[in-house]
Structure 1
């Protein structure tokens, strides 16, 4: 896969966009690993040919290229959730080196709603609270359900996941 041409983003920033959140695709239809690296694939998907860290590195590279092309634009990096308890370290490093303005949290926020508070107060994330990259939230989204963290919010999301996973 190749990164987008950062100069194509310049036209957008000149239209006075203040913030851009980066993605490399839609994980709910094809190639979920491109934007949601995982350890366990969603139903009907195979393990990707690449290691999840390659997907993370690609997302970081795309974000960095856009941020470098448009330093005045606030660019939200993505691809951090697979890094689990190392989210804060990677986000801080990317922001410090000018590779992103902000770091977004998707699946991590489902799994660990207090992650930002814990980073601010404790300076680290609790490895027992982070997303485990099991693809259950992605599966629910792919099948049109209301999603959340199936592993810890069992009362709410496990029945939805079971209904979907038993469907043909």
Structure 2
């Protein structure tokens, strides 16, 4: 049994005939075939995917799940096989937000995330409540902007920031 969201195209969603399809579904079915087992999907809401795994509702989850140090202590993860490239999206007629700086001072709705890439790090330092440093799809470190930018604890974060700032104290 495999837990899947079933509402997140192109990963797992329903086609015109209401069949569960998508990239994660196909990968799971191919793996099951290779193992010689039958696969059955259990569709659940995103927020209960991990809880269902914990309560043995299914054997594994096939979904876009961030790999964190805390989760790695409890679960086995595959090697990441997809990468997302986020962007800021506004309505065409929105003339108030045309560049990253236009977001400064605005409050995001609950469960809304803003992704800021390397060239916007000084902007992130100024406006972010929380910063998450990721490397190869895994969360390396998270904290306030001050904690991450001024006092990073993890060697990978320190190395990255040193390279970004041009410091020579770290070797990458």
TM-score, normalised on structure 1? Answer: 0.27
Higher relative contact order by CA 8 Å / sep ≥ 6: 1 or 2? Answer: 1
Structure with bigger strand share is 2
Q: Whose helix fraction is larger, Structure 1's or Structure 2's?
A: 1
